[in-house]
Amino acid sequence: MPPRHWLMKVEPSAYTIDDLERDGHTGWEGVRNYQARNLLRDEIQVGDGVLFYASNASPSGVAGIAEVVTAGYPDPLQFRKGDDYYDAKATPEKPIWYSVDIAFVERFPAVLPLADLKANPKLRKMMVVKRGMRLSVQPVTAAEFAEVCRMGRHATR
DNA sequence: GCCAACGTTGGC
DNA sequence: GCCAACGTTGGC
């Protein structure tokens, strides 16, 4: 399977591309949506490209690039009693939620705003530009990934 | 802060 | 299994 491409959302209050640049890599934890879980568990592979998307931001948009460095594994937070992401129904034998690890690749000179993605006809089919699209892990085509990288490298504040 | 869109919960 | 109520997401 050739590397695929994904867009992953996170709010800047939780984690930023600067945090990822500092940390080098991080566990993508706390995803609590079944559709996104299925992608993390079943589809996402080492070497896949990631568009790092800042949501609920000003502006919201793609902040940089990351790369998947582990396949899906059980999200440790589901077992951590008291944690916001604790899930009493999950057990180590039957985990419910999954994570992957991602590594920093590149930080765009500025956030590439969602509005710019929407304005690019080549990106008309991207999930993230569609109204009401809340999925926090989304598949992205190779062509879309390349186009967003190209735009992001020219992003200016 | 508003509110539309969506996902989940729970009564029946 | 339906679906209304509720909670969350997330752009603006």
A34 touches strand B (CB under 7 A): yes
Measure the CA–CA gap between A28 and A24, rounded to whole angstroms.
13
Q: Any idea what the Cα angle at residue A18 is, between residues A121 and A60, rounded to 5°?
A: 35
Domain of A132 in residue numbering reads as: 5-152
A42 inside domain: yes
A157 inside domain: no
pLDDT per residue as tens, chain A (157 positions) = 778 999 999 999 999 999 999 999 999 999 999 999 999 999 999 999 999 999 999 999 999 999 999 999 999 999 998 888 999 889 999 999 999 999 999 999 999 999 999 999 999 999 999 988 999 999 999 999 999 999 999 988 7
Closest-lying nucleotide for A55 based on CA to C1': C10
CATH of the domain at A137: 3.10.590.10
Taking the CA of residue A12 and the C1' sugar atom of nucleotide C9, their distance in angstroms comes to 14
In DSSP terms, which residues pair with A10 in a beta bridge? A54
Cis bond upstream, residue A74 (ω within 30): no
SS3 A28: strand
Taking the CA of residue A96 and the C1' sugar atom of nucleotide B11, their distance in angstroms comes to 26
Task: Using a 7 Å CB cutoff, list residues 93-112 of A near strand B.
Answer: none
> What is the model's pTM?
0.95
A11 touches strand B (CB under 7 A): no
In DSSP terms, which residues pair with A138 in a beta bridge? A7
Domain count, chain A: 1
**HEC sequence for A54-116:** ECCCCCCEEEEEEEECCCCEECHHHHCCCCCCCCCCCCCCCCCCEEEEEEEEEEEEEEEEHHH
